[in-house]
Amino acid sequence: MNAIGLSGVSKQFGRFWANRDISLNIGSGSIHAIVGENGAGKSTLIRMIYGLLTPTDGSISVNGHVVRFTSPRQAIAAGIGMVHQHFMLIPDLTVTENIILGDERSALFATLDRKQAARKIKTISENHGLEIDPAIPVSELSVGEEQRVEILKLLYREANILILDEPTAVLTPSETGQLFATLKSLRNNGKTVILVTHKLDEVLSVSDMVSVMRKGRIAATEQTSSVTKGDLANLMVGRNVLLRTENPPEKTGKLVLKVSDLQYRDARGRQKLNGLSFEISSGEIYGIAGVEGNGQSELLAMLWGMIEPGSATSGSITVDNITLSSKTPAEIAAAGVSLIPEDRLKHAVIGEFAVGENMIFGRHREKKFRRFGGFDTNSIRSYTNTMIERYDIRYDKQSNPSLSSLSGGNQQKIVLAREIERPGLKLLILAQPTRGVDIGAIEMIHKKIIATRDKGIAILLVSSELDEIISLSTRIGCIYKGAIRQEFSPEDVRKGRSSEQDFEKEIGMFIT
């Protein structure tokens, strides 16, 4: 029996086909993963199943019956539920109230039977490992717990087909494990789960079937047990990709960055950094592993002179014995430091500016780009062209588009090119350098990072992707509650790389 059947489904936006001729069967009582790079059309596909979009062509059936949903309401009635990437919960209401909201089953102005609802919620959560206290307000929950509430909401409404769009993007490693246990338990109880993700390890560890999407089409649908990570990656990109970046031994030089005893108390009085110290020498990559919210953002803010007003900080930061504390971003950059911030779109580029204008953004004070009171457009153009070639940046040059119309990977390459090629660079700070970037581009970005290290530049890498940290770093520091809790030496890391699973677990113990 198929829970969902798609035959010849297409979706067109303007002249662009986001989904093209998709035929796919999702077996009842299975976990079916849909993988693909950003923009492959995964979200479009499930939004059609959930009634948020209507297909341009083709037909969708649920439990064998052809349906044509025009709104999610109809999908819900047919037993389909979806966990959105952005949760739709009301912070001031309790877990129970949030779950029954919109499904109160009582007449207007009649009292709610909260007790019975709470009992039902308790049973569901015990059966599927969805631990939660139904009586506390949602505002006190962690992100992982909020997601559990979203899933409970669907189960409370007796949804039989659950759709999750990139559910692990916001979770810690242990929360991810817990979520997967829940999904398996649901599957064993006969529910159907559609899991959208771009992380291949997750697919392999949890799904029964996997469909790979590429450029709006289904490239393949396979039994998960019969494919490898490499197969999936090749199918996603459409060519052979190396998942493991070549990482030759490094030659470490003299000390560049010295961070000692950083303290950071934010405007609301919360201690975000608590005696954080580490050092980086030239020619090495220092990876900071940790769950988000353990002080990474505050460390980056201090390194870049962007401390929030109202917060109290202390400690010292020096680059080549020049102190950076109380300097502005412009002065820090002039001292030979580059930062690739986490939120590229918000902090590293101007979406409306053209590619050339972004290529010099933050470096526009350099003499070689200037002429009289303005810019030397010839020098900027030739510099941009050089970078486009060196970093394999792809876009339609003829139309001189604004940056925001480039893909995420190409935008990130522009930022990377600009920051790596800064004259007199001593320290490169990378925050989540491959977030939202396609596998094909990740390979290239990782290579550039290693090459930069080999030019004798000190690199700080902050990433929540453990495999990225492990494959690139010379040394690894585990950040937990605003301090480095454990540091792994180059020997540890080299050894760890040969048995990555165990190493990830070991690191995991120090960051939670």
Ligand X SMILES: Nc1ncnc2c1ncn2[C@@H]1O[C@H](COP(=O)(O)OP(=O)(O)O)[C@@H](O)[C@H]1O
Count of positions on this chain that bind Mg ion (CB under 5 A): 1
Residue 19 engages Mg ion in binding (rule: CB under 5 A): no
Binding region for another protein (CB under 8 A): 13-16, 304, 306, 328-331, 333, 339, 341, 346-353, 357, 361-362, 364-365, 370, 373-375, 396, 399, 401-402, 405
Q: What are phi and psi for residue 70, nearest 5 degrees?
A: -115, -10
| Shortest Cβ 351–another protein spacing (Å) | 7
| 430 Rama class: left (phi>0) / alpha (psi -120 to 50) / beta | beta
- Judged by beta carbon, residue 303 or residue 469, the one nearer another protein is 303
CA angle at residue 166 from 411 to 200, to 5 degrees? 80
Of 19, 43, 281, 411, which one interacts with Mg ion (CB under 5 A)? 43
| Shortest Cβ 505–ligand X spacing (Å) | 30
From residue 280 to residue 299, the character string flagging contacts with ligand X as x (rule: CB under 6 A) and all else as - is --------------------
d(CA 367, CA 357): 15
Residue 42 engages ligand X in binding (rule: CB under 6 A): yes
Residue 55 engages ligand X in binding (rule: CB under 6 A): no
> Which H/E stretch holds residue 229?
helix 229-237
Contact present, 28 and 58 (Cβ < 8 Å): no
Residue 6 engages ligand X in binding (rule: CB under 6 A): no
Residue 412 engages Mg ion in binding (rule: CB under 5 A): no
Tell me whether strands 475-480 and 285-289 are parallel, antiparallel or unpaired: parallel
d(CA 127, CA 190): 13
CA 239 vs. chain centroid, Å, equals 23
Residue 197 engages Mg ion in binding (rule: CB under 5 A): no
d(CA 151, CA 253): 51
Contact present, 395 and 356 (Cβ < 8 Å): no
Residue 43 engages ligand X in binding (rule: CB under 6 A): yes
Residue 168 engages Mg ion in binding (rule: CB under 5 A): no
Which one of another protein, Mg ion, ligand X, none is in contact with 448 (Cβ closer than 5 to 8 A by kind)? Answer: none
Residue 18 engages ligand X in binding (rule: CB under 6 A): yes
Q: Where does residue 455 rank: exposed (0-12), middle (13-18), buried (19+ CB within 10 A)? A: exposed
The window from 42-50, 83-91, 170-178, 242-250 that contacts ligand X (CB under 6 A) reads 42-50
Residue 72 neighbours by CB under 8 Å, 6+ apart: 50, 51, 52, 82
Which one of Mg ion, another protein, ligand X, none is in contact with 39 (Cβ closer than 5 to 8 A by kind)? Answer: ligand X
DSSP states of 25-91 as a string? EEETT-EEEEEE-TTSSHHHHHHHHTTSS--SEEEEEETTEEE--SSHHHHHHTTEEEE-SS----T
Of 41, 167, 433, 477, which one interacts with ligand X (CB under 6 A)? 41
Residue 36 engages ligand X in binding (rule: CB under 6 A): yes
Which one of another protein, ligand X, Mg ion, none is in contact with 68 (Cβ closer than 5 to 8 A by kind)? Answer: none
- Dihedral sign, CA of 322, 325, 331, 337? positive
CB atoms within 10 A of CB 161: 23
Residue 56 engages ligand X in binding (rule: CB under 6 A): no
| Shortest Cβ 405–ligand X spacing (Å) | 10
- Judged by beta carbon, residue 235 or residue 333, the one nearer another protein is 333
Q: Provide the binding-site residues for Mg ion, judged by CB under 5 A.
A: 43
Q: Which residues bind ligand X (CB under 6 A)?
A: 13, 18, 36, 38-44
